[in-house]
Structure 1
Amino acid sequence: MAPSVLKRKEKENQETTRLSTGRISKKIRRTDELYDEGEPDIITIDSDDDDETRIKKQNKIDINNEPGMQKLHALLEQFTKSMFEKSLPAHNAYIKSLIHKPFIMPDSSYDGHSETFLQMRFKNREPTPLHDPKAPNAVVLFTPPEYSEEFKKAHKDEMLVHVVVDPVLSRVLRPHQREGVQFMYDCATGVKIEDFYGCILADDMGLGKTLQCITLLWTLLRQSPHFKSGPTVSNVIIICPSSLVKNWYNEINKWLGTKLSAMAIDSGQASEAVDAKLHQFGRQQSNGKRRSCNPVLIVSYETFRNHAHVLDNIEVGLMICDEGHRLKNMENQTYVCLKKVICKRRIIISGTPIQNDLLEYYSLVDFVNPGLLGNASEFRKTYENPISKGRDADASDYQVELGQERQKTMINIVNRCLIRRTAELLSKYLPLKYELIVCSKMEPAQQALYEFFIKSKGVQKTLQEGDKVHGKKGAGQSTLQAIMFLKKLCNHPQLVYDLCTKGEDGFEGLEKMFPEGFSRSIRNFEPLWSGKMKLLDNILANIKQTTDDRVVLISNYTQTIDLFQRLCDMRGYKWTRLDGTLTTKKRDKIVQQFNDPTTNEFVFLLSSKAGGCGLNLIGANRLIMFDPDWNPANDGQAMARVWRDGQRKTCYLYRFLATGTIEEKIFQRQTHKKALSNCIVDSAEDVMRHFSLADLKELFRLEDESVLSDTHSKFNCKRCVDNQQIEPPPEQADTASDLADWHHCYDPSVIPDDKLADSWPRSNISFVFYQKQDKPKDP
């Protein structure tokens, strides 16, 4: 290329570079660092205006000058803040409009109810159960039939699904509890008896009746074999003694946590507050159209009775009545109120549902399944009258045979809606248990007073009058007064001192039988006046000295508990007391304190009547039943307080009986399997009706001093010879066996409890029965 051409090209490139640089420098211009009078700086970007328009100051800021850069950053920050403040309200308003905008269902048929939504959700799916029926440890309560592929396509909406217990619960259920849940589910769904939906859960104490019922109610609230129709029930009412309201609430929370919200009404709440809660529960309709926020109501019998009108015309899916033997009287106001509730699924929970009075038995069955045994008059004619006559002490052979036949028929009917398992099932899960029946002779002065009284004209007159009026309703009041006197005397002479000193009819001359210096004041209480109290004093001292065991001490009489309390104060034992005077809150607090291993409580003083409702005293592993009740169910309830879930130590359960006295006679009546439920009567007026005159005379007879145990002497025991057991009990025998198959002890060397053995020489022990309940051996 010619040199002239190259020079021309180079010149053109230089010109182009100059022009480009000029345009770039023209793009951004800065005002001087400071304007006069504080006028704002101006930044112009990509502008064609001349310098006079764009720049008001001739002095320019060097872009590389540090103060100039700081000013630029300040301007940018001010600009950003201004824009943020202007845009923020609009942004927030827009977001809120999105959040609060009503959600429109794509399905126009949606009516706001959860079940309709679920139906839409699963419209195109094959029905499936809520939980996997093939999972390990699954508890399947209902299994649908096998469906063909053609049926599935043509009748998908008619398909049934498995009903499976929530795995949270199924993994903790023991075999007998699974069986119980299945039984109750079959009853509640009409499988056991067509058109009848109630049942009675009559398991012994400690078998987990509460957990079984929680499993059932949760399953019914969540599931049904009919996939499209929603759950079986939509609400549940639990009625229980006031002392158990909190316990039910805690148990539901323990097993289900936030899955289920229960509404508990404390008996201490104001009437207006109770009505408000019941109204709230009632507004949650039970027609399956709406899920309830609090589908479970827990309320005491007394509170429900006083506020039942609030729930008038409210349909209830399931009703559970804990300690349901309270409903044995059909004329009771509580019974009447509960019977009016619109509910076809009713469950009674009771460890002692069957008493000797057949009409009371009928009341319980008719409550859960109305009409199953006919109406009341039909029941009396068909069952009660023949069975009662057959059980009478003077019944003919024909009456006995007819009574047994009707009794068998009735039991066969009722067993379809009643399930009962004994506490011996617990032996698989609990530590070793010993039961010991300790016969203790009375002290000499105590025995002299006993003999004087039963030979007195008053007692003899009572027996003669009893012969004339035997079997009549209302008879035997003077007899019962005499019985009560003897029972208290067996505990301690101080309990009958006032009766003796007043000289009332039938108690004349008894004051002179008390030794000189005897005082009625509890401050002057002396355990040596009573054989059983002397034994108690010894065994408590032995336990306290060498172990860290705790003791539950039970009596049927608050006056006897007063003496226990005085004994503990005398010996410096830390004690806690629970009787009928305590409120539910105080009761719960002292039980929690006693069960706390960090406290120094030693003795829990318990009234038998107060200790029969769900009381858990696993802080103790020794229990002493100081006196027997006419009804063994009451004793059984009280004695089940320590050998139950959560217990870790070997348990010792003692029964104290005054040798040869009325206490042994009462105990023999308890164990006698003559009555329908193996229970003796528990009401005053029944004593004369169920005892023959010979029975009453036997009741008032004191055995000779040579008798070590009246109960054992009546066995005609072939395992004992010359006051020595020569043959051991059957290997398979346990605490549920007859006393004839227990160990029979004549001296302390064979006693399995060294604390009782150490107490034997310094007390009045004459004989001991004992048996153990161990874990069953593998077959």
Structure 2
Amino acid sequence: MTLLHTFKETLKPCGSLSSSSLLRISSTQELEPPRKPPKSSLSQQLKRLDDSYFLSSKHEYKISETQVEDSNRGEDDHKRGIKFEEEKHVEEEEDEDDEISIEFGRPGLNRAEFDYTGPYEPLLMSSIGEIPIIQVPASINCRLLEHQREGVKFLYNLYKNNHGGILGDDMGLGKTIQTIAFLAGVYGKDGDASDTSVLDSGKGPVLIICPSSVINNWESEFSRWASFFKVSVYHGANRDMILEKLNARGVEVLVTSFDTFRIQGPVLSGINWEIVIADEAHRLKNEKSKLYKACLEIKTKKRIGLTGTVMQNKMSELFNLFDWVAPGSLGTREHFREFYDVPLKQGQRVTAPERFVQIADQRKQHLVNLLRKYMLRRTKAETIGHLMMGKEDNVVFCQMSQLQKRVYQRMLQLPEVQCLVNKDNPCDCGSPLKQSECCRRIIPDGTIWSYLHRDNPDGCDSCPFCLVLPCLVKLQQISNHLELIKPNPRDDPEKQQKDAEFVTTVFGPDIDLVGGVSASESFMDLSDVKHCGKMRALEKLMASWISKGDKILLFSYSVRMLDILEKFLIRKGYSFARLDGSTPTNLRQSLVDDFNESPSKQVFLISTRAGGLGLNLVSANRVVIFDPNWNPSHDLQAQDRSFRYGQKRHVVVFRLLGAGSLEELVYTRQVYKQQLSNIAVAGKMETRYFEGVQDCKEFKGELFGISNLFRDLSEKLFTSEIVELRKDSNIHEKKRSLVETGVSEDEKEEEVLCSSKPETEKPVLKDLGIVYAHRNEDIINGGGATTTTTTTYQTSQNNNDDDENVKRADRKKNKRKSCREEEDMASSNREEKREKYKMLAEFKGMEILEFSRWVLSASPFDREKLLRDFLERVIQL
């Protein structure tokens, strides 16, 4: 029966060729984008498109002119028309907008490429000779991409070794599909009516725990990919009926929400589950939560976590997640903290001694090697980057309006804020105690404090630290829009009254400029941008994008901010859709489909919280995040609504921050967290920017501690100074090393330009109300040279000096651009060579290491023969 089943499986038709052993010539023509993407962010993609995938650096494939003219003769003629030609250098032309003039997918210039869709051969998960044969059904296998097949094999290896692990792919890479394919293979499903039940195979049922917002998504994906599974949802009013069905062995896969499992954990934990899968597993980051404790009671060892953000805020979250999927894999909690957590954070300090840096590097590599046993982590760039046109993540610091600055300053002078800032100072009464422990523990005259403690005039146990969060919220609201701090009509009358008192205090003599203390109902006032720095910048950016046919996703964490932005869009006459927490679940997909399909829809307003998971908005190529979140994963997930499989255009992201406000500190903490995650999870080398160390009172630095949270940054460019200081340090180190090696002055200047940026550029962003901007990937990833565009608050400089500075900056910019392009080309060539080498090894039937040894020992004739045979095979296909 096993041999018959295997024979039947191999006869099933599949949709395409194998990426591991077969090649094809694509005959489809890609639609040319309406507007070319910026050259600065797509140089690597362009080089990959213009160079050959398959040949050595001296040759490339090219379709002959005769073949182009006869392109309708059929695919066989196209294959026979492939020939070699000596490599030619492609000259790039720049227009005034610095855009790329290279055409994409021109008719008749089809290139040979990999086919990353399903293979002809079965996808075997079991080892050669292993009985029974475990393989993915052909109906699923033929639709999997290459990275998804690798993910399925990884999941099976976890299962076979009787322990759990993490599938940590980026959002949009198909973690759900890989899981379903893995389950279908493990349970021997092939889509026939004669399939036996999961329970008849001697295995237990499968439990899937996920956010309630994606329960329907799991149901629909099982229905689409593996309808032969008996799937039930344990959520809502019919839980008792589903539980009876489960006990009667009538359920193979049970899907439930995190909230339901947290409450019903004792009931569900008593069942002998074969496999437990936690979707969005980063929800298990807090070891003190009831959800985490409930999940620890699950008996099976085969626990699989699906998440694109393995670590969000701190190292302890990483330990908690892995201690659930594979208990004991990272040792004890105390061992992990002392051996990994503390050294990695201490080694990332900008002034850390060299010995600390070396220890951190050793521990980092040790941790990465350990995590590889239990985690498969892939990014879009590594997997489907060749199918997409790239993403550019810009962080834009918008100058607050003069009114915003005055209100922000008055907020910092409130008694509550001053109490927090001076909490560690000696008390004025002469007591040896600190102010926060003596006379300034409570603030009866404070508007915010009096409302928080309206039922307890003596204060609470955490006073005055209970004021931190409310004060931070007020500062962020001022940075975004002044209307947000006004009383909310939906609140109770007492809170509205206290908010009115607060507004009166912080606005002072400017109260009439914003229409009084009550929430404005005037459409024209709310849609006006004069008192909001971010909206002034957004107005000009959107006007440019809309005129060029771009579609925009506009995110905000605040529903009230969405209301204001909605009025702004109406005033400007833009066609838009909106999705927030009040949008019914059954209407959300129709809103998404309408936006993707309708050319008239220009903007999609989305709440960062309610935007949720599973929204695929690939028709948009501009993403605006109006207000940043302390958790960097929230902003990254918002970006991925557009930048995912199926996106045909270059995606540009704009994160808007209030310059000189608390939002700069929010962003720099995001950088700190992302860098720490890259170090611990991916083993990357990150630039050391900060002196502060999280959860370390000895090194609060510039990032941590209450005093930093409420520091006045209005006269500074806080983020710019940190980045520039580190950049200057790198330049001096570079020059010193060049002097020691005897490099001439001219060569030294050119070399330094290739590794840095000009000191100051023309303030070209001034008209947009932007004082500073940079690309997030330049700051986060790898400590390379940063490419920033800066402008200062002082703009009254001599015109002649300005002109000379502009010319000098342009010369340096051109040199730097040339250096950057050379570096991108070298990097692209290295990646292409690796792919070619891998293909030749597979064609030879060898592993990479074995093939490397063969190449070293083979004669030139044997190498040339291998290349000729490989190319003949390509042409035949």
Calculate the TM-score normalised by the size of structure 2: 0.58
Q: Is the 8 Å Cα contact of residues 552 and 620 (structure 2) preserved in structure 1?
A: yes
Distance 1:361 1:673, change over 3 A: closer
Distance 1:602 1:442 in 2: 27
Q: Does 1:692 align with 2:700?
A: yes
Distance 2:546 2:343 in 1: 54
Q: 2:396 aligns with which of 438, 458, 463?
A: 438
Distance 1:280 1:232, change over 3 A: closer
Q: Is the 8 Å Cα contact of residues 166 and 304 (structure 2) preserved in structure 1?
A: yes
Give matches, 1:56-455, under 5 Å. 121=1, 131-132=9-10, 136-145=120-129, 160-190=131-161, 196-222=162-188, 233=203, 235-256=205-226, 258-265=227-234, 267=235, 269-270=236-237, 273-284=238-249, 294-308=251-265, 310-311=267-268, 313-374=270-331, 409-425=366-382, 426-454=384-412
The residue type equivalent to 1:692 in the other structure is: K
Distance 1:347 1:428, change over 3 A: same
Distance 1:643 1:232, change over 3 A: farther
Aligned counterpart, 2:734: none
Distance 1:144 1:161, change over 3 A: farther
Give the secondary structure class of the aligned counterpart of 1:276. Answer: helix
* Bigger mean CA offset, 691-700 vs 211-220: 691-700
Give the secondary structure class of the aligned counterpart of 2:512. Answer: coil
Q: Is the 8 Å Cα contact of residues 165 and 375 (structure 2) preserved in structure 1?
A: yes
The residue type equivalent to 1:702 in the other structure is: L
Q: Is the 8 Å Cα contact of residues 623 and 642 (structure 1) preserved in structure 2?
A: yes
Q: Is the 8 Å Cα contact of residues 188 and 199 (structure 1) preserved in structure 2?
A: no
Distance 1:454 1:130, change over 3 A: farther
Give matches, 1:343-742, under 5 Å. 343-374=300-331, 409-425=366-382, 426-454=384-412, 459-465=417-423, 476-497=465-486, 509-512=505-508, 514=510, 516-519=512-515, 520-523=519-522, 524-525=525-526, 526-547=528-549, 549-597=550-598, 600-672=600-672, 676-677=676-677, 692=700, 694-695=702-703, 697=707, 699=709, 700-704=711-715, 709-710=720-721, 713-716=724-727, 718-723=756-761, 737=781, 741=785
Give the secondary structure class of the aligned counterpart of 1:656. Answer: strand
Distance 1:409 1:672, change over 3 A: same
Q: Is the 8 Å Cα contact of residues 312 and 632 (structure 2) preserved in structure 1?
A: no
| 1:510 CA drift (Å) | 2.2
Distance 2:627 2:155 in 1: 37
Q: Is the 8 Å Cα contact of residues 427 and 776 (structure 1) preserved in structure 2?
A: no
Distance 1:383 1:431 in 2: 37
The residue type equivalent to 2:761 in the other structure is: N
Distance 1:604 1:513 in 2: 37
Distance 1:238 1:452, change over 3 A: same
Distance 1:282 1:469 in 2: 62
Q: Is the 8 Å Cα contact of residues 134 and 186 (structure 2) preserved in structure 1?
A: no
| 1:640 CA drift (Å) | 0.8
Distance 1:377 1:595 in 2: 50
Give the secondary structure class of the aligned counterpart of 1:169. Answer: helix
Distance 2:627 2:695 in 1: 18
The residue type equivalent to 2:506 in the other structure is: L
* Bigger mean CA offset, 499-508 vs 536-545: 499-508
Distance 1:433 1:400, change over 3 A: closer
Q: Deviations over 1:227-260 (max 9, x none)?
A: xx9968453222111110111122222223x443
Q: Which runs of 5 or more residues in structure 2 are unaligned?
A: 12-20, 22-118, 191-198, 426-433, 437-460, 488-494, 681-693, 729-755, 764-776, 792-816, 834-877
Distance 1:378 1:710, change over 3 A: closer
Distance 2:722 2:202 in 1: 53
Distance 1:691 1:447 in 2: 30
Distance 1:254 1:264 in 2: 16
Distance 1:374 1:745, change over 3 A: closer
Distance 1:638 1:339, change over 3 A: same
| 1:644 CA drift (Å) | 0.9
Q: Is the 8 Å Cα contact of residues 223 and 231 (structure 1) preserved in structure 2?
A: no
Distance 1:383 1:432 in 2: 34
| 1:563 CA drift (Å) | 1.6
The residue type equivalent to 2:571 in the other structure is: M
Distance 2:725 2:207 in 1: 49
Distance 1:428 1:230, change over 3 A: farther
Distance 2:232 2:530 in 1: 53
Aligned counterpart, 2:458: none
Q: Deviations over 1:101-123 (max 9, x none)?
A: xxxxxxxxxxxxxxxxxxxx56x
| 1:690 CA drift (Å) | 9.5
The residue type equivalent to 1:576 in the other structure is: A
* Bigger mean CA offset, 441-450 vs 165-174: 165-174
| 1:311 CA drift (Å) | 4.0
Give the secondary structure class of the aligned counterpart of 2:760. Answer: coil
Q: Is the 8 Å Cα contact of residues 129 and 163 (structure 1) preserved in structure 2?
A: no
Give the secondary structure class of the aligned counterpart of 1:465. Answer: coil
Distance 1:544 1:410, change over 3 A: closer
Distance 1:297 1:530 in 2: 49
Distance 1:495 1:642 in 2: 28
Q: Deviations over 1:187-226 (max 9, x none)?
A: 1110xxxxx51001122212221121111111111179xx
What is the RMSD of the two structures over their aligned residues, measured on CA atoms?
A: 4.5
Give the secondary structure class of the aligned counterpart of 1:648. Answer: coil
Q: Is the 8 Å Cα contact of residues 393 and 654 (structure 2) preserved in structure 1?
A: yes
The residue type equivalent to 2:120 in the other structure is: P
Distance 1:715 1:488, change over 3 A: farther
Q: Is the 8 Å Cα contact of residues 166 and 375 (structure 2) preserved in structure 1?
A: yes
The residue type equivalent to 1:210 in the other structure is: T
The residue type equivalent to 2:274 in the other structure is: G
Calculate the TM-score normalised by the size of structure 1: 0.65
